Amino acid sequence: QKEVEQNSGPLSVPEGAIASLNCTYSDRGSQSFFWYRQYSGKSPELIMSIYSNGDKEDGRFTAQLNKASQYVSLLIRDSQPSDSATYLCAPSDYNFNKFYFGSGTKLNVKP
């Protein structure tokens, strides 16, 4: 059973702060890692992907990967109320095709 662990939250941060979302995974064969954002009543939306150890930045988002620790995180700088959503972590299998989704972390950004 391949497990993906995320703190369900809610994680509450004030507007303008940095939100830090964490994820651990059990499958050492995972090669690629994805973060999805899901607003209430909507479908998951891909926001970041990362494949190599280290950091990857895209605008206000930074994904961090440490394969040795089986840990991946997402940082959101200058958090906005519009960032309030559930964030899903999804490592892939070794074939890069099948994703294993965590249960998600609910983020609340307070104005």
Which CB atom, from 69 or from 95, has the smaller least distance to other proteins? 95
What are the residues binding other proteins (CB under 8 A)?
32, 34, 36, 42-46, 49, 51, 88, 92, 96-104
Q: Which is nearer to other proteins, 17 or 51 (CB)?
A: 51
Q: Work out how close the CB of 63 gets to other proteins at its nearest, in angstroms, rounded to a whole number.
A: 13
Alpha-carbon separation of residue 48 from 14, 32, 78, 89, 111 (angstroms): 22, 11, 17, 10, 25
CB atoms inside a 10 Å sphere around CB 77: 13
Q: How far apart are CB 62 and other proteins at their closest, in Å?
A: 18
